[in-house]
């Protein structure tokens, strides 16, 4: 993690620090709030998505979206890509009950996918591959943010890990291109850990259904077999709406 504070300290802060409601994000379909967390190590801002604020979806289990946010973080960390801000599933001390609490990354909201330079877009290969791996059904342009120290993050992973193919993303820049060997190597190392009886499987089991983890492992295996980014498919919905 690029911040000076250790990841462990950040996660502990997110999980236990007293918090106050500091605002609400109003543009999403689910209730999302801005928190200010206080502890002996200082103040931190966080994004809070309570379970009871989730809008029901026909194709995802009810009350599961906030846990998918945490699963995306845990998987990104396990692989070593660090693409998702620190995220926990917290049950106590929150204004509207249990939900995901994610470290807020200070960024310029006007700096998103649709105004990136060609050089910046070229840096999105790990995120594009991560979205394919987790079957992200909603990678909007504004869900790609850049921290002040130029680290790329993806946010909003509530509709990921479905067992059916639902990849919807704005990042189709690499369609058909070879996946960099270092990214494939990372997947090779993580794949055995996604099978039953391994620590990462047990960790993800707290947030996902068994069949969703098995589908995740199957996607990883497929990616390793084809070794190229997916081609766009005009026969199905492949872009999120709205795209920003």
7-56: per-residue pLDDT in tens?
A: 899 999 999 999 999 999 887 788 999 999 987 767 899 999 999 999 99
Question: Is residue 233 situated within a structural domain?
Answer: no
Per-residue model confidence as pLDDT tens digits over 195-218: 999 999 999 999 999 999 999 999
pLDDT of residue 73: 98
Question: Is residue 48 situated within a structural domain?
Answer: yes
Q: How many CB atoms lie within 10 A of CB 202?
A: 12
Question: Between the CA of residue 133 and those of 59, 127, 153, 190, what are the distances in Å?
Answer: 19, 10, 16, 12
Enter the pTM of the model. Answer: 0.95
Question: Is residue 234 situated within a structural domain?
Answer: no
Length of the chain: 244
Cα–Cα distance measured from residue 91 to residue 223, given in angstroms and rounded to the nearest whole number: 35
**And the tokens for 59?**
């194709």
Residue 48 near residue 99 (C-beta atoms within 8 A): yes
pLDDT of residue 87: 98
**And the tokens for 87?**
């995220």
pLDDT of residue 1: 42
pLDDT of residue 237: 87
pLDDT of residue 231: 92
Q: Is the peptide bond before 239 cis (omega within 30 degrees of 0)?
A: no
Rg of the Cα atoms in the chain: 17
Q: Is 235 exposed, middle or buried (0-12, 13-18, 19+ CB in 10 A)?
A: exposed
Per-residue model confidence as pLDDT tens digits over 135-158: 999 999 999 999 988 899 999 999
Question: Is residue 237 situated within a structural domain?
Answer: no
Cα–Cα distance measured from residue 85 to residue 98, given in angstroms and rounded to the nearest whole number: 19
Residue whose pair of structure tokens reads 């998987």 in the numeric block: 75
Question: Is residue 76 situated within a structural domain?
Answer: yes
Q: How many CB atoms lie within 10 A of CB 75?
A: 28
Per-residue model confidence as pLDDT tens digits over 115-126: 999 999 999 999
Identify the domain containing residue 178 by its residue range. 7-226
Q: Tally the domains of the chain.
A: 1
CATH number at residue 185: 1.10.510
Q: Measured at the alpha carbon of residue 189, what is the angle toward residues 184 and 193, in degrees to the nearest 5?
A: 130
Q: What is the DSSP letter of 177?
A: P
Question: Is residue 64 situated within a structural domain?
Answer: yes
Q: Is 104 left (phi over 0), alpha (psi -120 to 50) or beta?
A: beta
Question: Is residue 2 situated within a structural domain?
Answer: no
């Amino acid at each position: 993690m690029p911040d000076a504070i250790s990841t462990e300290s950040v996660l502990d802060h997110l999980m236990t620090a007293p918090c106050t409601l500091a605002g609400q994000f109003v543009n999403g379909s689910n209730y999302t709030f801005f928190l200010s967390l206080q502890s002996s190590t200082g103040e931190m801002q966080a994004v809070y998505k309570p379970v009871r604020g989730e809008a029901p979806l026909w194709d995802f289990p009810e009350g599961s979206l906030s846990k998918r946010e945490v699963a995306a973080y845990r998987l990104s960390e396990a692989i070593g890509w660090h693409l998702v801000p620190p995220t926990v599933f917290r049950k106590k001390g929150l204004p509207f009950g249990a939900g995901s609490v994610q470290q807020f990354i200070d960024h310029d909201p006007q700096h998103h996918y649709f105004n990136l330079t060609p050089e910046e877009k070229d840096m999105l290969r790990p995120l594009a591959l991560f979205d394919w791996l987790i079957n992200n059904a909603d990678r909007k342009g504004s869900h790609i943010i850049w921290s002040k120290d130029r680290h790329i993050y993806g946010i909003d992973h509530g509709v990921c890990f479905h067992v059916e193919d639902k990849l919807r993303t704005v990042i189709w820049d690499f369609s058909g291109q070879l996946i960099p060997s270092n990214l494939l190597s990372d997947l090779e190392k993580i794949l055995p850990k996604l099978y039953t009886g391994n620590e990462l499987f047990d960790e993800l089991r707290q947030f996902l259904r068994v069949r969703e983890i098995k589908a995740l492992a199957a996607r990883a295996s497929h990616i390793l077999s084809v070794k190229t980014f997916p081609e766009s498919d005009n026969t199905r919905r492949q872009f999120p709406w709205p795209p920003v």
